[in-house]
Amino acid sequence: MATPQAGNHHDTFGLGRVFAELCDLLVQAGLSLDGVFLNADKTFDTSELRQACASRGIEANVARNRRAADWQTDDDTPLDPELYRRRLVIEQMNAWLDGFKALLVRNETCLQNWLALHWLAFTTLLLRKIARQKTS
């Protein structure tokens, strides 16, 4: 999980920095970025993100944003539609997090408390999944 951003910015504000932070966290955890893909919706179709992915050897599977000024540029970044449809898993995770009202309302102003609440939510979701697998 990257450092949270202020809610008064567009989703792509500081995206290069946040993406680099996430990549560094993965490397610090001992995970290789070789063969990793990024599956994102058209909101994240920016040259900055595509270049950051290319520089780290990450395959960007990002839908083209037709509202962007450069959407018709010829680049060799194909979109895998089947992989793109699997983005649903990410959307489900966001919906599950919205089930935790303390996170949904966003009243928490202290960064450490906000992060702690998210880690509690992630842990709760993981434990629920483990419990379901044990019973089935």
Domain boundaries, the chain: 1-79, 87-136
pLDDT of residue 120: 92
| Whole-prediction pTM | 0.69
Low pLDDT (below 70) residues in the chain: 68-77, 105
Name the E strands within the chain.
Answer: 37-40, 59-62
- Segment 14-30, tens digit of pLDDT: 888 999 999 999 999 99
* Mean pLDDT computed over every residue of the chain: 82
The three-state secondary structure class of 12 is coil
Angle between helices 111-135 and 88-98 (to 10 degrees): 110
CB proximity list for 103: less than 8 A, separation 6 or greater: 97, 117, 118, 121
Whether 105 and 91 have beta carbons less than 8 Å apart is answered as: no
User: Nearest to residue 118, comparing CAs of 22, 6, 13, 3?
Assistant: 3
pLDDT of residue 77: 61
